[in-house]
Amino acid sequence: MRFPTHAPTLVLALAVALPAVAQQDFSKVEIKAEKVKDGLYMLIGQGGNIGLSVGKSGSFLVDDQYAPLSDRILAAVKAITPDPVRFVVNTHWHGDHTGGNENMGKAGAYIVAHDNVRKRMSTENFNATFQRTTPPSPEGALPVVTFAEGVTFFWNGEEIRVYYVPPGHTDGDAIVHFVKADVVHMGDLFFNGSNYPFVDVSSGGRVDGVIGAADRVLAAIGDQTRIIPGHGPLATRADLQGYRDTVKTLRDRIAKLKAEGKSKDAVIGAKPTADYDAKWGQGFIKPDVFTGLVYDSLP
Ligand SMILES: [Zn+2]
């Protein structure tokens, strides 16, 4: 799909989760590094937030944004450590999190992700919500190590637990827990900053999985834990709790209407999110889209 030039908000909106690299201008993007804990950083540029672990074993990335940014991302890593990137873990298959895979592979990194990330990246995907087709990724961009349930890295003096959770944002979401640093990267299971979540139904996502993932992380962390969200600023446990409670409240409202036998259009028309929209509906997932995706993904 070509982005209409007269609709900059739409361009921005789609750029967040369903990138079309050719249409985006990356020339002015700067990669900024924010220290999260000792040896642990969040890199912010364009696309999904990147996690970076540095130390005696070598650099370890969580997600890698877009291909045109790879040189800048590698330069940002080099400004922190001389060690090359050895591993990249993808939190899910979307191109704003995996677009740099091929370049990172060429730079010597091994790409690791859930089985379904490799599966989806290997084939053409059609997204019904945004009417967009994503072609298969080149061989060099595909994860070379995949897992079904999880994998643990003993790396940089850390225990890095990577684990799959049932379908939420997509059907291949992984959460990355840096146990010693007390930092969790949640990928797009968590948008921090008062945005409705993107339940990517076309990628097998389900609202109950978004809530379940938040519950699982909340049960495992404390007030000192820092959470790297897929998008938005670095977060605390309280931020995640607020997000989870909002999504649960709205999910229950929509589920009640659906259980009463109302059609999707009728539920959207009932505006079940209305009192939350001023705060939560300003991001790239608009209230009607959120309501429709929740409706579609409910059992
Ligand atoms: Zn995503």
- Confidence at 98, pLDDT banded by 50, 70, 90: very high
241-270, pLDDT tens digit by residue? 999 999 999 999 999 999 999 999 999 999
Q: How far is the CA of 250 from the centre of ligand 1 (A)?
A: 21
Distance 188 CA to ligand 1 centre (A): 5
- Residues with C-beta atoms within 5 A of ion ligand 1: 17, 94, 188
pTM, full prediction? 0.92
Checking if the pLDDT of 5 tops 50, the result is no
Q: Which amino acid is at 109?
A: A
Q: What is the pLDDT of residues 112-151, one digit of tens each?
A: 999 999 999 999 999 999 999 999 999 999 999 999 999 9
Write down the mean pLDDT value for the chain: 93
Across 85-108, average pLDDT: 98
pLDDT confidence of residue 8: 37
| pLDDT score of 185 | 98
Residue 92 CA to ligand 1 centre (angstroms):
7
**Distances in whole angstroms, Cα of residue 260 to Cα of each of 246, 248, 257, 266, 286:** 22, 18, 5, 11, 24
Per-residue confidence (pLDDT) for residue 18, from 0 to 100: 54
Higher pLDDT, 23 or 76: 76
